Amino acid sequence: MKFNLFLFMSLILFSCTAYSSHNIQKDNLKHVINKKIYVDRYFINSTNKFGFETKFANAVIDELLNDGCFSIVNTKEDADVILNVIVKKYILEPLTYDINDLVKQYKLYIVASITLINRYDNAIILSNPRIEGVQIFEHSIAGYNSIGDEMSEEEAREFILEKMSKIIVKKIIKRVKFTSQDIKKIHYVT
């Protein structure tokens, strides 16, 4: 009886470690989705904070390259789909103050919208008007990051842009499924 219980538990343990649905799904996706995407490197920035939109575009491109499901192309004419991003809000809000009324803690809030377009018929494949990134951080002087939650505004912004880039790529992959037989046909996953 003890041997049967041991054998049963061993089978369960080994069967759980040998199966990983995440890896199988990701491998299957790479065979299905290996098409060309154009990312407009000039993200539209409709906020009053300028100069970070290129870093945001590069972060999205890096995330697409790391994922490996898409080939990045340099022109719209070479692409199957086109990604456009608009940065809609950039809000740096003071949250707490020290005894000298100097800001001690900030909340940085960034909102962007994305549109993924089929180049062949200009159909909108994905439209998400609100992708948000938020980071609360203790204020520090740029370049002098100490232990804890202290960071500069630039470090908080880079952290948010990296998180938002991951969200954008996940939304694209979740929504789009290409057929391997016809590049010009794009099927929508519901």
CATH classification at residue 178 = 3.30.160.150
Burial class (CB in 10 A: 0-12, 13-18, 19+), 144: exposed
CB 61 within 8 A of CB 69: no
In a domain, 20, yes or no: no
Domain count, the chain: 1
In a domain, 34, yes or no: no
| Cα–Cα distance for residue pair 77/72, rounded to 1 Å | 12
Phi and psi for 155 in degrees, rounded to 5? -65, -40
Q: What are the pLDDT digits (tens) for 113-122? A: 999 998 888 9
Strands (E), the chain: 35-39, 44-45, 70-72, 81-97, 103-118, 124-139, 150-151, 176-178, 186-188
pLDDT band at residue 156, thresholds of 50, 70 and 90?
very high
Q: What is the pTM of this model?
A: 0.72
CB 96 within 8 A of CB 102: no
